Amino acid sequence: MTKFQSLGLEQPLLQAITDLGFETPSEVQEKTIPILLAHETDMVSLAQTGTGKTAAFGFPMLQKIDIESRTTQGLILSPTRELCLQITSELKLYGKYLPGLNVVAVYGGASITEQAKQIKKGAQIIVATPGRMKDMIGRRMLDISKIEYCVLDEADEMLNMGFYEDITDILSHTPEDKCTWLFSATMPKEVAAIAQKFMDQPQEVTIGAKNVGADSVSHEYYLVNAKDRYQALKRLADMHPDIFSVVFCRTKRDTQKVAEMLIEDGYNAAALHGDLSQNQRDLVMKSFRTRQIQMLVATDVAARGIDVDDITHVINYQLPDEIETYTHRSGRTGRAGKTGVSMVIISKSEQRKIKAIEKIIQKSFIQKEVPSGMEICEKQLFHLANSIKDTEVNHDIDPYLPKIHEVLEDFSKEELIKKVFSVEFTRFYNYYKKAKDLNVGGGNHPEDREPAKVTEDSTRYFINLGRKDGLQWMDLKDLIREVTELPKDDVFHVDTMDTFSFFNTDSKYVDLVIEAFKGVQFNDRRVEIEISKDRGGRKFGGGGRGKDKGRKKGGFGKKGGFPDDRPKFKGKSRRKEEWPKEKGTGGKRRRKR
Ligand code: ADP
Ligand code: MG
């Protein structure tokens, strides 16, 4: 008796197993199959990817359904079209000695009428993606009211992809007394909640440690001024030359705009949103799958069900309106055993949203700095070196080589390397050499501030707190306002150094300020405050870091503040080769919401 036989499987299936060359059942199969064969029960089965879960539910389902009948008795929901097709073909192999077995795959992006036709012929088992399934139910193209077994395969993935509502809807069309079998690689809270909601005293099989979440994704945020959002996005992309990412925006309009700007700036980008036709969307997805597109800018709705593995980065250009949606977004990366990064670009007012998201995902964000121009140049340089190293020589250029040699004959290898690299480097260098620090509080740059009023009547103070205390100028300003209870505009020119800082107030507040700071402590240290002789205003004081060099000083109030989070889009189009200036040319076009 083979091991498979001892699990309770019958001859036609055993024969197929032999044909498949499966010798021994995997652990999840060994534990799950006997239970499912022997009992009419709900089941939660947790095991890593690649451990043979398809067979663990496939064989019992095939053995339990009535092949003579043409009623649909088994429904398998899976997150992606690929998986749906894969499961369907596996089941057909498992059931090859079951005459009359009809397994039909139902998934988006293919003819719905064709799928309906196949089901009409009598499909005992339907394997479906939730979106298309819901569609077909709505159009009364199939009947799942007599389902006996329902499998939620890769439940964690389905939830990550935002299919919760679809699943709920689909299950409401199935009978109460069916058996529900849930398979998942991980058991995050959301999956546990589904099990709770849709299952009745499920048996539980767990292989290995119960994995509570996708630890394959790390979460980062970048704090910038709202007006610098787009520049930050570009830097993040430039810092990762091999990026393969989904960039999430809140609205269709922003999605389109950001994609257009990226394309103008020479990135391989495209937009994916609901205003595109199905055909356009298919084309975009095809180019994304084949990596012709490196940055897919998408709305949440359109990105639902993106079934592309290997996405290296999810970039939250804007946070979603509903923070719960964040999980769906970040779940697009770190799939199939890979690791991924979910990056969030936020402005100061959104910081508390990060806290709220951390509660939901039960993981901490790492605050990262938007890379500086020079860091990017360096990165690109080494990326170029490595791609030259890995490039396969194209022998079609052979005939031209003698001429090329002639042109370059006066140069040594060293000189040639310098020249080759200069071609690429200069482009980035010219673009980034004057680039400012985009991090909020990342330096003391006047552009970041609201217009300040330096009057003859203002007083400059010295305070013994600085960056070493973890304070950037905005934090310090908040702190000063907290202590003094002065209005926002009455504390200005806050310049943080490493161990001390300066700030100004209107001279009429001098007594108030000095008084207010009496006895104040910060991290167990007495806060000291003195009136500085320096009037302040148009300089940073000492201690400028290397980074600050070359930065234009002064210029307060030139730019005016941006009152809200709306990204300001450039009005004019640029040629691709021409790298844009760091700053937008103004915000004429406004986003309507
Ligand atoms: P999971 O759903 O757990 O990620 P799959 O069901 O897709 O895993 O199975 C992974 C691979 O292992 C498939 O190619 C499948 O054919 C193969 N496989 C499944 N069970 C066995 C077995 N008992 N022996 C050998 N190969 C198996
Ligand atoms: Mg599977």
- Which tens digits make up the pLDDT trace of 397-423? 899 999 988 888 888 888 888 888 887
> Using an 8 Å Cβ cutoff, are 442 and 375 in contact?
no
Name the closest-CA residue to atom 15, ligand 1.
52
The angle that helices 189-198 and 164-171 make with each other, rounded to 10 degrees, is 10
> Between 556 and 336, where is the model more confident?
336
| Residue range 458-467: mean pLDDT, rounded | 90
Name the closest-CA residue to atom 20, ligand 1.
52
* Predicted local distance difference test score (pLDDT) of residue 565: 29
Within a 13 Å sphere around the CA of 161, how many CA atoms are in the beta-carbon half? 25
| Residue range 373-393: mean pLDDT, rounded | 85
| Token reading at 55 | 């067979």
Name beta bridge partners: 24: none
Instruction: Say whether pLDDT at 267 is over 50.
Output: yes
Is 543 close to ligand 1, i.e. is its CB under 6 Å away? no
| Residue range 456-469: mean pLDDT, rounded | 87
Ligand 1 atom closest to residue 90's alpha carbon, by position in its atom list: 16
Is 78 close to ligand 1, i.e. is its CB under 6 Å away? no
Name beta bridge partners: 492: 504
> Using an 8 Å Cβ cutoff, are 309 and 216 in contact?
no
Q: Which of 2, 5, 22, 45 to mutate to test the pocket of ligand 1 (most atoms within 8 A of CB)?
A: 22
Instruction: Say whether pLDDT at 555 is over 70.
Output: no
Distance 49 CA to ligand 2 centre (A): 6
DSSP state of 348: G
Distance 446 CA to ligand 1 centre (A): 60
> Between 191 and 17, where is the model more confident?
17
Contact residues for 402 (Cβ-Cβ < 8 A; gap 6+) = none
* Predicted local distance difference test score (pLDDT) of residue 281: 86
Within a 13 Å sphere around the CA of 460, how many CA atoms are in the beta-carbon half? 18
| Residue range 469-487: mean pLDDT, rounded | 85
| Residue range 459-474: mean pLDDT, rounded | 86
* Predicted local distance difference test score (pLDDT) of residue 211: 53
CA proximity to 317, closest of 222, 450, 184: 222
CA proximity to 373, closest of 172, 551, 151: 551
> Of the ligands numbered here, which is closest to the C-alpha atom of 25?
1
| Residue range 79-101: mean pLDDT, rounded | 93
Is 58 close to ligand 1, i.e. is its CB under 6 Å away? no
Amino acid identity at 290: T
Is 325 close to ligand 1, i.e. is its CB under 6 Å away? no
Instruction: Say whether pLDDT at 125 is over 90.
Output: yes
All domains in the chain, ordered by first residue = 3-206 (3.40.50.300), 217-367 (3.40.50.300), 373-432 (no CATH), 448-578 (3.30.70.330)
Is 208 close to ligand 1, i.e. is its CB under 6 Å away? no
The C-alpha atoms of residue 373 and residue 482 are separated, in whole angstroms, by: 35
Give the chain's mean pLDDT. 82
Ligand 1 atom closest to residue 20's alpha carbon, by position in its atom list: 16
Amino acid identity at 413: K
> Using an 8 Å Cβ cutoff, are 556 and 449 in contact?
yes
The C-alpha atoms of residue 338 and residue 81 are separated, in whole angstroms, by: 20
- Which tens digits make up the pLDDT trace of 275-318? 888 888 888 988 999 999 999 999 988 887 677 888 899 999 99
Distance 164 CA to ligand 2 centre (A): 19
> Between 585 and 449, where is the model more confident?
449
DSSP result, 383-432: HHHHHHHHPPP-GGGGGGHHHHHHHHTT--HHHHHHHHHHHHHHHHHHHH
